[in-house]
Chains A and B, each alone.
Chain A
Amino acid sequence: MLEPRDTADLAGIIADAAASGRKLELRGHGTKADFGAPREAEVVSLAGLTGVVDYDPAELVLTVRAGTPLAEVQSLVAGEGQMLAFEPWGDAGATIGGTVAAGVAGSRRVTAGSARDHLLGLTAVSGRGEVFVAGAKVVKNVTGYDLPKLMAGSWGRLGAMTELTLKVLPAPREVVTLAARGLDPAAAHAAMACALGSNAEVSAAAALADGTVLLRVAGFAPSVAARCAALPGLLAGHCALERVEDAAPLWQRAMTGAGLKGAVRWDVHLPPRAAPALIAALPAGADWAMDWGGGRVWICTDAEDDTVRALAAGLGGEARLIAAPAAMRAQVPAFHPRARGVLALEARVRRAFDPKGVFATGRFAEDADADAVSA
């Protein structure tokens, strides 16, 4: 494992790999290493690049090195009454760089945006071994292409981010969860759609297979009280609501899909209105949880991958393979297939950053085209 001490060090390592035709896998603490196909590439650990570079809470901007643990970042901003509004989550040790590179977002994503929406700027090393910066360290900027959007969720296939500038926001003073019980998926979705479409400003909405619907109301105390008072009336045609104390474990299940029964877990993103149809079509024995008002459905099922993907695609959505035995991950691409034109464009964009395919380790099915080009 290669462990660069700084950006210059890392640039040297990547330039060498490009020159000698080697592959490199960028890694934080490896908490997401089981996503994608098993592969054997030399690992470059960015875990040593840690620390806060700049944090001025009143500017709503935080600049931090990529290997800094997510938990440290979250406790730092929480100490100032702030938060990363995309509600990132991960296993112990997950780094901020890995979290953003994987495009992780939690339940608040439906109203507050994803990692991509909060990555303002970055320093990175491309597959050429060149250091570049993109974006900026202010909250409002349209100067040049928005490369931070491309880097967020790119899984380390364009470059190695060494420093990230993130937008931070005030954390709500008060958070209340209202729950409904005993709703089938269609009723659960309808209740969530009604709540999210109302002006009661529900910040997150999720549903569990046991018939529980969760609505989160967050903000200043007088506002939270008024909205909690209004919601039962707004949803009167759908369900009864009750206040739930200690809702964190319930949200955790909906947000992460953890705890679902089954060895193979899918993350289906689709138009929320299609979520009940997706769940209804699942084979017997499947377990599920809805987040983002139904826009994300976690599914555990032993159905064939083609079945799951065809089902998602037929409803205007797509299915990521999140967790599966290595043998299955070797065969089934992690990402849902895209249209040919989109894939070709993605390949050209990857080459624009990584012409030699240094980061095309075989983890993703599309990596093969990088090999074809560089061969």
Chain B
Amino acid sequence: MTIAMPVPDADVLAKRERIARALRAIVPGEGVIDAPEALRPWESDGLTAYRQPPLLVVLPETTAQVSAVLKWCHAEGVKVVPRGAGTSLSGGALPLADAVLLGLGKFKRVLEIDYEDRVAVVQPGVTNLAITQAVEGRGFYYAPDPSSQIACTIGGNVAENSGGVHCLKYGLTTNNVLGVEIVMMDGEVVRLGGRHLDPCGLDLLGVVVGSEGLLGVVTEVTVRILPKPETARAVLVGFPDAEQAGACVAQVIAEGIIPAGMEMMDRPAIHAAEAFVQVGYPLDVGALLIVEVDGPAAECDFLIGEIARIASANGAVTLRVSENEAERMAFWAGRKAAFPAVGRISPDYLCMDGTIPRRRLPDVLRRMEELSEEYGLRVANVFHAGDGNLHPLILYDANVPGELDKAEAFGADILRLCVAVGGVLTGEHGVGIEKRDLMPEMFSEADLRQQQRVKCAFDPELLLNPGKVFPVLHRCAELGRMHVHHGALPHPELPRF
């Protein structure tokens, strides 16, 4: 455990019973959980290496209750951590010992569907997949599809700006959300955006999406829904090595094709997936590409032909085209099972999430192999090849003393490498606590201060989800001063992470 969380406030811990009483007055019945054993299930999110039972859990059912809870906590100086389904892979919903965990799980209603304007208004606890299920009868769907879509909620998707395998063509959450209702830390309810495009004024919605629960608590979301493409087909292509697969990806895009999805797996990931789900992945290749196209049948047929031609020109050694829906699903089954498949061959794994310029893929994979040797830990790679988003899975055993630390150090080196080649720390999982201390690799002190000033505009007391995203929490008063001249940084003596 190398990531330190803020020291709990002893005064808040001491008034725990009073906080529980006050919150029960706002959310009666079962809405407040404070028995120590009942807090256990809430102690972590999808980043399970980190666990911390919350001070208590509150599960409101209405915006008015969320507002009252936040207002009370604000007045009392009590921190709040918002939580959707708790599937964050970056620790975005990790509880704090002195913070109320505010669960939005009871906000489960689809409020309105407007097919004519192609929007749906939903509560934040509705799962990503449930939106699609609510509209698919009429031939529509909600495009962003993070792999956790059966469990993750739209509120969490807004917080994390979630992506998915189709986001190169259809965008991230931010490109598919029209409006939100949020409750500010002081209890004020604000609506940003709405049912139409490009509202007047600053794009506050744009900065709330992806703010990782640090700016406000989302209580309603208006999303765009799209007509479901007529067909979808996939091609499964094997290459001797990742370099050729990468060259194929570059040429597909250079020739003007934006596939609905384009995924790459390296040899360890292919073997792990095939051993797990037996879908007929070729085992004698160094890299496997799944390219999916969607749209009218005529378009899919044409593009499949183009992709096959480009793949052959780049040294493909195997190529299969899905001839029916079952086959297309089988191609995906291995990729979608890659994480649990790796979970079978290793007691534990860490999933990294950097993005790189695609042209740097061969260098990055080569360096990653060297690091794997240096650390003595195996790594398997799955890769959203179209947009350069890498998911290296670092295999380790938490029961071996020191191995988690080693895996984290390896992961940090991979992310530094991503930034060094012109990429970023996180493509879709969020910073959370996991990448928090690496932020200075990508952003200067001035860059981070500007982001924190935005935080201060929303939550000047820094009570909402503290300890996440920012490596150093500056007080807002300190950030408000104009104290940098001619590029000189304050506190040059402070260590940089």
The CB with the most chain A CB atoms within 10 A, among B167, B168, B229, B355, is that of: B355
User: Once the chains are docked, how many angstroms separate the CA of A345 from the CA of B458?
Assistant: 7
Contact indicator A146/B209 (Cβ below 8 Å) = yes
Q: Does A27 touch B at the CB level, under 8 Å?
A: no
Chain A, range 38-95, C-beta contacts under 8 Å to B? 56-61, 81
Contact: A143 with B431, CB < 8 Å? yes
- Does A173 lie within 8 Å of B446, measured CB to CB? no
Asked if residues B443 and A349 are in contact (CB atoms below 8 Å), the reply is: no
Residue contact B296 to A352, C-beta cutoff 8 Å: no
Does B422 belong to the interface (CB within 8 Å)? yes
C-alpha gap A147/B447 in the complex (Å): 10
Closest Cβ of chain B: how far from A140's Cβ, in Å?
A: 4
Give the contacts of A127-179 with B (CB-CB under 8 A): 128, 130-134, 136-147, 149-150, 152-154, 157-158, 169-171, 173
Partner of A56, one of B171, B189, B355, B357: B357
A222 contacts B by Cβ under 8 Å: yes
| Contact residues, B227-270 vs A (CB, 8 A) | 227-230, 250-251, 253-258
Judge whether A58 and B253 touch: CB under 8 Å. Answer: yes
In the complex, how many angstroms separate the beta carbon of A254 from the nearest chain B beta carbon? 15
Q: Is B77 interfacial (CB-CB < 8 Å)?
A: no
| B16 interface contact, C-beta 8 A | no
Q: Are B457 and A351 in contact (CB under 8 A)?
A: yes
Contact string against A for B residues 137-178, beta-carbon threshold 8 Å, 1 for contact and 0 otherwise? 001100000000000000000001101000110011011000
Contact (Cβ within 8 A) B227 A198: yes
B197 touches A114 (CB 8 A): yes
Whole-angstrom distance between the Cβ of B449 and the nearest chain A Cβ? 8
* Contact of B45 with A by CB under 8 A: no
**Which partner residue on chain A sits nearest B189 by CB separation?**
A341
Q: Which B residues from 116 to 143 make CB contacts under 8 A with A?
A: 116-119, 139-140
Q: B202 near A154 (CB under 8 angstroms)? A: yes
With A219-B299, A348-B457 as contacts: A140 and B204 at CB distance below 8 Å: no
Query: Looking across the interface, which residue of chain B has its beta carbon closest to that of A312?
Result: B196
- Within the complex, the shortest CB–CB distance from A219 to chain B, in Å, comes to 7
In the complex, B343 has a CB within 8 A of chain A? no
What is the size, in residues, of chain A's interface with B at 8 Å between Cβ atoms? 92
In the assembled complex, B497 has its CB within 8 A of some CB on chain A:
no
Closest B residue to A229 by beta carbon equals B298
Contacts of A146 on B, CB cut-off 8 Å? 161, 174, 206-207, 209-211
- Which residue, of A105, A145, A193, has the highest number of chain B Cβ atoms within 10 A? A145
A193-B116, A272-B117 as given contacts; A133 in contact with B447, CB under 8 Å: yes
> Is the pair B457, A139 in contact by a Cβ cutoff of 8 Å?
no
**In the complex, per-residue mask of A331-375: 1 if CB is within 8 Å of any chain B CB, else 0:** 000011011011101101111110100000000001000000000
Contact between A140 and B197, CB atoms less than 8 A apart: no
A348 to B201, alpha carbons, bound, how many Å? Answer: 13
Q: Does A230 contact B (CB under 8 A)?
A: yes
When distances are taken between beta carbons in the complex, the residues of chain A under 8 Å from B457 are 345, 348-349, 351-352
Measured CB to CB, the closest approach of chain B to A189, in angstroms, equals 9
A206: shortest Cβ distance to chain B, in Å? Answer: 14
A114 to chain B, nearest CB (A): 6
* Binary per-residue interface labels of chain A (255-277) against chain B in the complex, 1 for a CB within 8 Å, 0 otherwise: 00000000000000111110000
CB <8 Å contact, B296 and A223: yes
A296 within 8 A of B: yes
Q: When the two chains form their complex, are residues B163 and A140 in contact, meaning their CB atoms are under 8 A apart?
A: yes
* Most chain A CB within a 10 A radius of its CB, from B140, B194, B301: B194
Partner among B140, B175, B211, B357 whose Cβ is within 8 Å of the Cβ of A138: B357
Known: A131-B446, A197-B227. Is A117-B301 also a contact (CB below 8 A)? no
- Tell me the complex Cα distance, A138–B256, Å: 18
Partner of A295, one of B115, B196, B255: B196
Closest to A226 in B: B298
Which of these binds chain A: B282-290, B307-315, B317-325, B384-392?
B384-392
Interface code B427-438, partner A: CB below 8 Å = 1, 0 otherwise? 111110001000
Chain B nearest CB, measured from A275 CB (Å): 10
Set of chain A residues within 8 Å of B209, measured between Cβ atoms: 146, 149
With A58-B254, A349-B204 in contact, do A269 and B295 touch (Cβ < 8 Å)? Answer: no
**Contact partners of B201 in chain A: CB under 8 A:** 335, 338, 342-343, 346, 366
Min CB gap B232→A, angstroms: 11
| Contact in complex: A140, B196 (CB < 8 Å) | no
B450 with A126: CB separation less than 8 A: yes
Give the distance to chain B from A309, nearest Cβ to Cβ, in Å. 11
Contact of A338 among B200, B422, B484 (CB under 8 A): B200
Q: Across the two chains, which residue of chain B brings its CB closest to A316?
A: B195
Q: How far is it, in angstroms, between the C-alpha of A109 and the C-alpha of B425 when the chains are bound? A: 29
Known contacts A58-B358, A147-B207, A339-B190; decide if A138 and B446 are in contact (CB<8 Å).
Answer: no
Least CB distance from B362 to A in Å reads: 14
A-B contact pairs, 24 of them (CB 8 A): A117-B171, A126-B450, A130-B446, A134-B451, A136-B424, A138-B357, A140-B163, A141-B424, A143-B443, A146-B206, A146-B207, A150-B203, A150-B206, A150-B207, A154-B202, A201-B296, A222-B299, A271-B117, A272-B116, A316-B195, A335-B201, A339-B190, A349-B454, A355-B482
- Given A134-B450, A141-B424, 4 extra CB contacts under 8 A: A61-B357, A143-B439, A150-B204, A352-B450
Binding site for A on B (CB under 8 A): 114-119, 139-140, 160-161, 163, 167-168, 171-172, 174-175, 184, 188-192, 194-207, 209-211, 227-230, 250-251, 253-258, 295-299, 301-303, 355-359, 384, 387-389, 422-431, 435, 439, 442-444, 446-451, 453-458, 469, 480, 482, 484-485, 487
Question: Closest 10 CB pairs between A and B?
Answer: A149-B206, A223-B299, A170-B256, A226-B298, A352-B453, A348-B457, A335-B200, A140-B387, A222-B302, A271-B195
User: Which residues on A are within 8 Å of B, measured CB to CB?
Assistant: 15, 18, 56-61, 81, 103, 105, 109-110, 113-114, 116-117, 126, 128, 130-134, 136-147, 149-150, 152-154, 157-158, 169-171, 173, 193, 196-201, 219-223, 225-227, 230, 269-273, 292, 295-296, 316-318, 320, 335-336, 338-339, 341-343, 345-346, 348-353, 355, 366
